[in-house]
Structure 1
Amino acid sequence: MTTPPWQPLSAREAELPVDRTIHEGVPEHLEPGLRSWIRDSVVTESLVHRVVAALKLNTDVHSFENGRLPSSARELSRVPTSLLLDVVDCLLYLDIGEVAHHSYLVKHPNATSPLAAVLSKPAKFVDPVDALDALLGDAASAYQVRETDDVSHAGLERVVDVTVAESAAMAMHRAESSGRDDASFYLRSSWTKAYALHPDASGAYVDAVRAVEDVAIPLYASAVPRATLGTVIRELDHNGAAYSMVMLDNNGGPAKVDTVLSLMKLLWHGHRDRHPGGQTSAPITPEAAQAAVHIAVLLVQLLSTSAVTRNP
């Protein structure tokens, strides 16, 4: 979650433009906060051991305090700077918020009782996940907290323009409401893989194509066994005149499906690692994967709302 950028008083009084710089990695102004967050939020030793195990930390590869693996929250907070974001991402994956809340309830068993809460007045529970998200936003980090859903655990993801993120969420919801649950699932999965701390570009591209296939094949290739997006493209290529857009063209008539077809072709032909070993085969870059996700979002939204219709 992002918050509007804040300006220091001196900058506001000088009427300076808002600084919208996004900071990659762990900038100097963020590092102390991240280390304090780890130290204060990790409330069980077992969580430290799980982070060490999940990240497969090794004293032969990384330098740790006293030359040994972290075994406490304090030691975990002092890992090399290069590991900080991985540690934070892993803690989110391991549901640090739930662990902290459980620990809070153990220490304050009457916290959920209204009467007991009034009489004993236990310290208010502070969700470490919310605290982290606020810290990242204050520091203008390139990363934010990814909320959990039915596809993935929480973790860090790259900051995306709010309007763009809301458009993607709308496409996912629209796909679900039109009965295309798989399209919604693959869109979410594609988004998660494309914008993760360590992106899975190839996996994101595959899921983007799958999301479009789930809405397009039933509309344009339902009778074809083992149909793919390529099958849909051939149908619209050969029989494009049989379809039209709900929008009007410059002559006032129904617009052709050329734009939708072009987007499908771009997505399909850009999937260059689909058949390894070919002359034009190439790895999918993170930037290409992100572009594929947004093309898929637009296509799923259009096809889920019947923006392309068959002519009478």
Structure 2
Amino acid sequence: MTTSPSWQPLSDREAGLPLDQTVHEGVPEHLEPGLRSWVRDSVVTESLVHRVVAALRLSNGARTFANGRLPSSAGDLSRVPASMLLDVVDCLLYLDVGEVAHHEYLVKHPDAASALGAIFSKPAKFVNPVRILDALLGDAASAYQVREADDVSHAGLERVVDTTVAESAAMATQQAESSGRNDASFYLRNSWAKAYALHPDPSGAYVDAVRAVEDVAIPLYASADPRATLGAVIRELDGNATAYSMVILDNKAVPAKVETVLSLMRLLWHGHRDRHPGGQTSAPITLEAAQAAVHIAVLLVQLLSTSAVTKNLPPQP
């Protein structure tokens, strides 16, 4: 949600210094007090504290907590070791801390639920803690931002990605849905969430990136094969390359060949090195490879969903 702040201290502006574009990993010193305060103020029920303890599998044997005991209050939870702070924040988002806070607000201010009651009682305005957190992370130029919940993933923390890149991914998912490929949209969003989560799942992200492309490509190029994979699509485009062309023109002002799309498909398909464990070239998927696969999938899904590759008309007799 949040992008790196564009604000600059007055002293830096007057000195003509360039904007500091540093992105801060973990919990930097300038962010820690704010995060601890946010946890303390946002956790409005004791049951939410216990759910965090349960979800994170906290135990005194593994961690050192204030007063030598597990957290039992919002104050306790806000004083966890700095190394755990992002996990706590991520977990609170997963557990819908904003919805819990809003429910408790309505319990204390029942008149706020109706427009008429709000006019006469004038309760204090509800401030969503999730919005406060997102602004705090942006102000601190954190490497993480809030990921809102959708029908694919729960809310949580995710790595900040360039706005233009993120918008391109969102556009690809929309294009897939518009073309009737809802599964491709699902897998693409799932792949993104796994690749950029606080605790990413590179292997899962890569699998879903391939699935997203397959859902768009197989009906177009391998629909007759009930067991088709991306490999079958590659074989079709490779073996019948002259039957297809791009909507974009090449340097001769004629429709470009599909080799570029084929190269991306091959790279995505062959790079899936943990698909068959035990092979001589099998290898774990690195986070960098998974993130690259996600972006390749974004481009392929968008191209194929918008008919960027077309089938050539047969020559006229």
TM-score bracket for this pair, using the shorter chain length? over 0.9
Report the secondary structure of 1:111's partner residue. helix
> For 1:238-262, what per-residue CA distance to the aligned partner results, in whole angstroms no more than 9, with x for missing partners?
1111100001110111100000000
* Aligned residue in 2 for 1:56: 57
Rounded to whole Å, the distance in 1 between the matches of 2:178 and 2:103 is 35
Give the deviation of 1:121 after TM superposition: 1.7
> 1:68 deviation in Å?
0.7
Who is 2:124 aligned against?
123
Cross-structure match for 1:24: 25
Kindly report which structure 2 residues correspond to 1:1-312, keeping only aligned pairs within 5 A, or say none: 1-3=1-3, 4-312=5-313
CA distance in 2: counterparts of 1:237 and 1:121, whole angstroms: 68
SS of residue paired to 1:110? helix
State the Cα deviation string for residues 80-125 of structure 1 (Å, max 9, x = none): 1110000000000000000000000000000123333233221110
Partner of 2:214: helix, strand, or coil?
helix
The whole-number CA distance in structure 1 between the counterparts of 2:192 and 2:114 is 40
Name the CA distance, whole Å, in 2 between partners of 1:250 and 1:137: 44
Distance 1:115 1:219 in 2: 55
Q: CA deviation at 1:132?
A: 0.2
**Cα distance in structure 2, aligned partners of 1:109 and 1:243:** 63
- Indicate conservation of the 8 Å contact 2:191/2:206, yes or no: yes
CA distances 1:121-146 after superposition (whole Å, capped 9, x unpaired): 21110100000000000000000000
Query: Partners of 1:253 and 1:160 in 2: how far apart?
Result: 36
For residue 58 of structure 1, report the CA deviation from its aligned partner: 1.1
Secondary structure of the residue aligned to 2:99 is helix
**Percent of residue pairs identical:** 83
Which residue identity is paired with 2:16? E
Alignment deviations for residues 36-89 of structure 1 (CA, whole Å, 9 cap, x no partner):
000000000000000000000011111001111000000000001110000000
The residue type equivalent to 2:217 in the other structure is A
Q: What is the identity, as a one-letter code, of the residue corresponding to 1:2? A: T
**Cα distance in 1 between the residues matched to 2:59 and 2:265:** 45
2:119 & 2:13 partners in 1: Cα distance? Answer: 42
Aligned counterparts of 2:33 and 2:164: Cα–Cα separation in 1: 31
Q: Secondary structure at the match of 2:307?
A: coil
Cα distance in 1, alignment partners of residues 6 and 18 from structure 2: 11
Q: Deviations over 1:223-279 (max 9, x none)?
A: 012100001111111111110000111011110000000000000000000000111
**Aligned residues of 2:2 and 2:146 also touching (Cα < 8 A):** no
Kindly provide the amino acid, as one letter, of the partner of residue 71 in structure 1.
S
Please, what TM-score do these two structures have when normalized by structure 2? 0.97
Tell me the distance in 1 between the aligned counterparts of 2:300 and 2:116: 54
Structure 1: which amino acid aligns with 2:272?
H
Find the residue that maps to 1:144 and give its secondary structure.
strand
CA positional deviation for 1:27: 0.2
CA distance in 2, matches of 1:115, 1:235: 64
TM-score by structure 1 length? 0.99
* C-alpha contact 2:94 2:155 (8 A) present in aligned 1: yes
Q: For residue 276 of structure 1, give the secondary structure of its aligned residue in structure 2.
A: coil
- Whole-Å Cα distance in 1 between the matches of residues 2 and 107 of structure 2? 32
SS of structure 2 residue aligned to 1:148: coil
Contact 2:250 2:256 in 1 (8 A): yes
1:157 match: secondary structure:
strand
Q: Which amino acid aligns with 2:185?
A: S
Structure 1 ranges of 4+ moved more than 4 A:
none
Between the aligned partners of 1:59 and 1:5, the Cα distance in structure 2 is 42
